[in-house]
Structure 1
């Protein structure tokens, strides 16, 4: 199966290369914001025209729509360079890609898939730009990666890049670290059949409860780092206040920026720990089971509960399910989602008896019909598996 696979590496640019990366990010942001501003003016103009059409002040055939023309906008970039010479110093393909991203954002907006595009800010925690692969301008050679305009950049080569390179994204995190993500078109072979199915009940106390009786511990990565994070964030607030009292811009306050990077590194460590755990666990599930049954949880709705929001964010259910889905697609496995309204924790997994509604405080119970004693969560995962297999047969 041919898939698009991303390879992420940390890069170690020289001082000169860092300057060029910052310039490119700034120019890409400028180009995006420039054409977004022009489109906003156009939207405002056509809104007035549309009102006039509706009021019969203009004939209907004068209405031309409000669509951003991607190709016409890309053709306008050389003219833009004549007015803003600093755009000539950076990768031209990166500028074109920023326009394509803007056009895609508008396309999704008009299809009501996302909100109206917003201006990019240099205050965002992650700054990046994307460039396409053309005529061998992106290549991996030993311990170096070749990138347009930057030339050869040293990087931490943790694995080989397989397949045809499509594009690369250079990113600078708020921690001050630089990364490159290479998207390549590669072939993935399906895994051997494991002749096994499993049901997964996602939780907060335990991250996942499996129908085979196993419970995966919730590592609580954020909670473990919370004390240290609070301490460092208080320091950051004090340094911000100190800079404000001395009328120093925060971008020029060296102590503030140093502390800001320290806090960002702590957040990054938490994110990396969580991502590593989710990748390893999802891969293990996909390798060892052909059918994975899981609840279709309304994570967004659950996050509105302020008492649970922090814990739900920390366990990252959505990220885990996303990883399961794309790995299942790659390796020829099946994901079955059952309705969030299915009473998995209320039904006896042995005889199917449902006796009233059990509150969350009840963690184990005995079935009054078959007298089987159940752990609430393991029982739920068994019911999820049974319902998933039943749904698959009926489909």
Structure 2
């Protein structure tokens, strides 16, 4: 991880926004008696109205520092990602008569544009593409990117109470607040935040927790008695429970980076998975420039699967992003390009390599499919290399 001292400086306006958010978080901390759980700090840093990283006006997605982005997601990397996802969606939509898609957190709108374009090319009707977006800046970018689909796309402030169709999310769960825990000398203690000069620092909760019922059940899966820091995912699990309660019939398809619980809480992952992204640099200081950097944690997919199944959904597939994309036809689409046209084929091939490579996004990122009241058999994206049994073994 990179040290924050070597990171690029923000603009004066961006710095002023961060200072204002720091004051806002500080007021919340003082009102709480001088200590906040990290999950509350993370929520404010990312989503405080008008000031947080996702609710403020800063650009987030991009290929490099020059275009203002802090990180790049698969749809920005290559349209092959969205087109391949669309082929999986088309399979389900045609077979089960579904014609509505709801995307949660649509980024720049590129994934939606790629999916709608491919569905149209395949002749698969999509009556409505709804986007649940909390960021005004991102909603504005999405409206520009999706201007050609103005008749199909609508924006929502929250998930509808009743859903029949497909719920889609790419890198949504990793941006939900997590609780941070440290085990020291056999005792678990939740980690939180205190003031430190003009900023913030880690501070354990006032009381140590030692009884098994005092800590989240997920931590029981942490082996041994060694010192370790890790996270639990109450917000992400509550989100999937909320989706499950609303889904009357259809498919939930999510892409994100993470592991089954046995890997997530492995003894060698002693520092947890919390990480930050700022101007295409990764580091581990969540208190650096609040509001100007992304704060994420990897996803515990066992917890997601458990919550989904507890609320009546079926675990229909879980595999690596690389395996999903290859199963669903990415390589066939790549081969449709003329390899003699270097200006088109080489960039597409290089992007596909990043999507599929174990050293890039191919293995760390996973796809999970959850269904209700539809008989999918085997979804094409999970036809080979399905790892759902790893989640069920952990459950």
Q: For this structure pair, what is the TM-score category when the shorter chain's length is used for normalisation?
A: under 0.3
Q: Over alpha carbons, which structure has the higher Rg?
A: 1
> Structure 1 length normalisation: TM-score?
0.22
Higher helix share: 1
